[in-house]
């Protein structure tokens, strides 16, 4: 099984996305491609313990991603 196939199990579920530079997102994973570009809905963005809620969808660029976890 390939890593990106495993990620399909997390579609439509809430995930934590840690990105480079100390920024993380928690939201529902709605789409992902082979570059790890991600679409989240209802995401909360966290930078240094400050949480900013996003409305609608958030597209996170794949090469900013460090890890994705449920």
3-state per-residue secondary structure call for the chain: CCHHHHHHCCCCCEEEEEECCCEEEEEEEEEECCCCCEEEEEEEEEECCEEEECCCEEEECHHHEEEEEC
Nearer to a second copy, 50 or 56 (CB): 56
Nearer to a second copy, 21 or 49 (CB): 21
The CB-of-53 to a second copy minimum distance in angstroms stands at 10
* Interacting residues with a second copy (CB under 8 A): 1-7, 9-10, 19-21, 23, 25, 30-33, 36-39, 43, 45, 54-70
């Amino acid at each position: 099984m390939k890593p990106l196939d495993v990620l399909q199990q997390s579609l439509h579920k809430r995930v934590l996305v840690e990105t480079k530079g100390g920024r993380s997102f928690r939201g529902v994973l709605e789409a992902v491609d082979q570059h790890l570009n991600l679409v989240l809905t209802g995401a909360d963005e966290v930078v240094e313990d400050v949480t900013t809620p996003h409305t609608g969808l958030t597209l996170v660029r794949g090469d900013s991603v460090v890890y994705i976890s449920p």
